[in-house]
Chain A
Amino acid sequence: MKTNSLIFALLLMMPAISGCLTETISKEFAGDQVMVPDMELVIVTYDVSGLTDSMLSEFENQTGIEVTLIKLGDAGSILDYLLQHDGAQTADLALGLDNTYLQTAIEAGVLVEHLAQIENLSDSALEPYDGPLAVPFDQGWICLNYDTDKVDGENLTIPTSLWELTQEEWRGKVAVPSPATSSPGRAFMTITTDYFSNDDDNSTEWTDWWSAMADNDLIITSGWSEAYETHYTGGYGEWTDGYIGDAYLTVSYCHSPGVEAYFGGNWTHSAALDLDGASFHQVEYAAAIDGGNLIAASAFIEYLTSEPVNVNMPIENYMYPSLEGMDLPETDGFRYHSIIPTNSANVSMNTIAAEMDSWILDWNAAVL
């Protein structure tokens, strides 16, 4: 125990001295000078595709820290898990909380300042939150996607405002995930609160739009995959078994058409809609959990935001990297078919945390 405490104290001081925690740990382990028995890292996350076996093995080999994953449904499930285990946390690192959930976790006091030394994070990744409790590891923009075969300017015109979607020609042709059960759904609802408070029309509220959409047979699904894969006609869903294919427009990422092209041999018939104010900058975070193994959590944060690992985010996790100067790959039209919206919704994390519960209640009343 005494040795362990000493090593722990040493490791705690080392980042300040040497600068890089992962390197420090890996050096100590590689030299066989220090053995920290049973150093384990439990990561609570949703099914983040980027956490591949080879990537985790590399981290384990570099640091000697054994990684265990607790995989949950989505970003919201991570927050639920942290709140449910408040005071008796079983995990060390939360991976995948986004900027619609992070503030609630911070206010609940379930996160702790990490020790990782990270440079070169991009300004855009730090835009929603630039503090010591969470580190952005990837990012993207949520916006509407449409099927270019159906929304071709003849059968259906490309919408220039959200109100157009309430018109008869769009009846039953829009699918969105519910904000009560889905992170992208939550982000899209956040978009609408901002969009309709900044439009020229002062006589209607954002909830009026949702009511009008519900009257126009809006398809509301429990998650992103049901909306995109099961209902949307423009995406890969048409190749899957559960496909219904009744929606020509849905909520996804502005770079989803890029991912479609990447896996479809530089071909897609899906496009992102760059509608003024109708997109949301989503950043996903890695955060050390209060009461967890801070050293191991911080080491993983450093590893995840190191250049060789973070550069793979577009391929492994279908998201933009969080480091400065990195972009989507050009391969097979990935970058070409992706857009960065010109003007995203501007809603702070504080506002989201403060308002979300009442927004969801209002939304529920509007669509019932």
Chain B
Amino acid sequence: MKNIGGKLSVLAFSSIVLIPLFLALDRLVWVAGFDPVQWFSAIEANHLSQGSVGFTFLQAILSTIATIVIGLPIAWQLGRYKWRGSGLMRAILTMPFVIPSIIAAMGFLAFVGPHGMGFRADQDTHLWTLIIAHAWFNMALVIRFTEPVLSTLDRDLEDQLRLLPAGKTLWGKLRNLWIPLLTPSIAAAACMTFIFSFTSFALVRWITPLESTLETVLADVGERAGISGYEVYANDLVLASSLIQFTVMLASLWLMSWLQERRQSLLPQASENSNLKANPRGLLILVPGLFFALAPLVTVAWSSLRIPVREQGELTYHWGVEGWVEAWSGGYSNTGVGDALLNSLGYAGITLIVALPLGWSLAKTIHELELSKSRWSRFLDVFTMLPFAFSAVMIGLGVLLGILKLDGELNSLWLLPVLPHIMLTTPFVVRIMLPAFRGLDPSYDEGARILGLSQSERFWKIRLPLLRGPLLVAITFTLAMSLGEFGASWVVARSGEWDTLPVLIDSLRSRTGWDPLIQPTAAAAATTLMLITLLLFMTVERFRPKGEGGMF
């Protein structure tokens, strides 16, 4: 690691991520005492968290399986056949990943609830609703990971295999071509899906209210942790939950990093000149897929305009914009949607200013280490994903407790919520930029150097134009993730004046619903956020590099 910028970026990232988490851990241990046996036994000994470890694993494993089962046929159709409007289809099918999970929760509840399909009353359906919601949320990962492999596969490979005895049967083709080809991509997508399902917060909080995951336990007791002599069990639960999460996540990330490297080495074998054919029967998969991706979102928008009226035990509806008026005027909250949106955009802008150069520099450093065959490359690669290993709630808690330990006054800084946003979005920038650096032909840079261009000239004239696509993807992704960030903002002390849009939506959604106008108001706020996210995501599709093997 020769460059100063690289060292500085690693130092900055380490400070942002490690200092708050270390301080939080220190404070928790100070209150709870260093007794790991006590921490871990507290989980099953407390009604609040009993069964949460088992449920967390169960739902994460089932969600991962469901995501692959749903996502893979869609990826196959998109990758193997020619479709008119494939860009738009791809955008719609992968968009759920950047939709704030709180909106997804509202959409799914409206869809399965008493005024939708009406099977919410049966508690057995809750787990399956959660799993389907997780599959909805994460199917973008399966599509993004596997579709480029499928779409860039040289058809000659298939033709050659067909002529061989081992490729005569379907099983033979699967065993000798598709399984070895797709396994690393599917496994990498599975790892990421497992990670996001394991630490999912809003969906679990709303869809399975009777079950706890480690993440909801953290959210339930987190705010009372770190206080000396007060409800000490909360500290035990936070320590145990976060340490289990950390261990499982770290193992998954390591596996994911290893798989992605294998995947990268497999990709060059494929040709980009694949000959895509039309396949009308594929619509049987793509149309339900598109419906699945859009249904929860349309339901939310629809609920914002359907105004319930309760009269003498009868519920009737009329169409109207009362919910929108209340949402924008702040009639049921202390911040209107307009102000909250400005706050969210402000935070997203500041997050971008920090996370983008930081992520760029980290990705570049990892790539340089890879080129020099340094063993530190894998370490730094996994290290930049560390915020994934700590859930959003734990990161929020880390910032809260960490800052409190440093100086309580800092807690009132309006900038504070930006810190977890930076922690959570920087790894995404790295994940997007790293494959782009890997794919950059070094001969361009070399040629420019020989022609006498300075380092900054080479940056502006060569590297930046070549990386324009992934850079725009990274910008949009950072903005979308920051706009939708909920878990960490929910934990970091919220000042009504600086409410972000997701926090405002949750605050509206959590209000007692005596007044029937509350639900349309919450749905109107959610629709606003959804539309902004959609707009960002549709924009990015135009700039996505074709056949890009990156995570997103």
Chain A contacts to B: CB under 8 angstroms: 42, 47, 49, 51-53, 56, 68-73, 76-77, 80-81, 83-90, 178, 180-181, 219-222, 225-226, 229-230, 236-246, 259-260, 262-267, 269, 318, 357, 360-361, 364, 367-368
Contacts and interface: CB of A to CB of B under 8 A. Distances in A.
Contacts, number: 160
B47 A180 contact: yes
Contacts of B210: 219, 221
Interface stretch (B52-60, B71-79, B347-355, B405-413): B405-413
Interface stretch (B111-119, B134-142, B241-249, B442-450): B111-119
B209 A239 contact: no
Contacts of A242: 109, 113, 120, 206-207, 209
A83 B499 CA distance: 23
For the complex of A and B, the 10 pairs showing the least CB-CB separation, nearest first, are A88-B408, A69-B496, A241-B113, A241-B109, A90-B412, A265-B311, A80-B224, A267-B312, A83-B227, A264-B310
16 contacts: A70-B494, A71-B507, A73-B223, A83-B230, A84-B227, A84-B404, A85-B408, A87-B408, A88-B409, A90-B411, A220-B47, A225-B510, A239-B513, A240-B519, A242-B120, A243-B121
A244 B311 contact: no
A68 B497 contact: yes
Contact of A368 (B47, B116, B507): B47
Contacts of A76: 224
Interface string B425-445: 000000000000000000000
Interface residues of B, number: 60
Contacts of A90: 408-409, 411-412, 493
B28 to A, nearest CB: 12
Contacts of B310: 236, 239, 263-265
Nearest to B313: A267
Contacts of B109: 241-242
B328 to A, nearest CB: 12
Contact of A241 (B50, B115, B209, B497): B115
B118 to A, nearest CB: 10
B501 to A, nearest CB: 15
A242 B133 CA distance: 14
B121 A246 contact: yes
Given A88-B407, A238-B114, A241-B109, A80 B223 contact: yes
Contacts of B46: 180, 364
A56 B519 CA distance: 24
Contact of A221 (B209, B497, B510, B511): B209
B514 A236 contact: yes
Contact of A245 (B47, B48, B121, B404): B121
Contacts of A367: 47
Nearest to B333: A53
B281 to A, nearest CB: 36
A267 B314 CA distance: 10
Contacts of A53: 329-331, 334
